[in-house]
Amino acid sequence: MEDKLHSINDSLTSRHPVHYYGFVAKRGQDIILGFHGDDPVKNAWKVDYYQDGEWHTENMKTKIFTGLKTEAEVIIRVMPRHPEKGTNIAYSLNFGSYPVLKKYDLHDEPGVIRIPSGYTEPGWLATQVYKEALLEVKFEDTKGAPLEGGVILFALKYREENTAVKLLLTSDASGFASRKIELGRCYDGTEAQDFVDKNKGFNTWRSYYKVANYAIMNLALSPHTVTPNTFYLGHICTQRLVQTIRPRN
């Protein structure tokens, strides 16, 4: 298998009732075996991994192989949990390098005039936009090499509305992934405290904004890690210049 994190979706059949996969830790990096959905024991299929000359059935949602030597190989097999009930079974799992979400950013929209901290509720809006923001993430393996196949779930929801955004983003061979989050214009909103922007003078701005919560989750690990941090986005609906004092020469 390629040196990445694989998301495998396949089906067992009567002709091929057992599927085998082998992954090599080229740098001695950790390897992850993970299952989608609920309790794996309830699946019609099961996964065994080969260790110390024996096959072991994995019944947890995530198995992490650590302390591996360079070029160590982990072999797994997928097979029906109850062969007597049939062998035509679809399955899905993650297998490959353990994904480390090294960095993630939801950037301000270029050119936005930020409302300062303490002038809104909540007091700090991590990201501020008029219409859109750029989401960027970076994945590595446990040895610091760029990781392809890392997946994040981005979830955003406005505090006082039912509007929500959910999307998946997968890293490429460089370990990076990016996407523009298009929110469009907003209307009305809450009035922020007037603030002075000192760029090219002293400009006093009056802003109306809406607030959304957003979180970025490492999908291969959720919900097996702690609850992800939640950040606030300020969607600026209108921003009006109410006073200008030109700088002195």
Q: Give the pLDDT band (50/70/90) at residue 190.
A: very high
| CATH number of the domain within which 220 lies | 2.60.40.1930
Over residues 86-125, the pLDDT tens digits come to 778 999 999 999 999 999 999 999 999 999 999 999 999 9
Strand-pair partners of 176: 138
Give the contacts of 185 (CB within 8 A, at least 6 positions apart).
130, 131, 237
17 in the same domain as 121? no
At residue 25, the pLDDT reads: 98
Cα–Cα distance for residue pair 199/144, rounded to 1 Å: 40
Read off the tokens for 38: 């609920």
Backbone phi, psi, residue 143, to 5°: -105, 5
Reported pTM:
0.90
- The tens digit of pLDDT for each residue in 32-69 reads 999 987 788 989 999 999 999 999 999 999 999 999 99
Which residue range(s) make up the domain with 155?
A: 100-245
Same domain, residue pair 179 and 208: yes
Q: Which of 56, 82, 97 is the last residue of a domain?
A: 97
Distances in whole angstroms, Cα of residue 2 to Cα of each of 26, 97, 105, 129: 10, 10, 28, 39
Q: How far apart are CA 49 and CA 55, in angstroms?
A: 6
Number of domains in the chain: 2
Q: Select from 48, 63, 97 the last residue of a domain.
A: 97
Residues 151/168, Cβ–Cβ less than 8 Å: yes
Last residue of a domain, one of 97, 112, 131: 97
79 and 150 together in one domain: no
For residue 35, count CB atoms less than 10 angstroms from its CB and return exposed for 0-12, middle for 13-18, buried for 19 or more: buried
Asked whether residue 178 carries a pLDDT value surpassing 70, the answer given is yes
CATH code of the domain in which 51 resides: 2.60.120
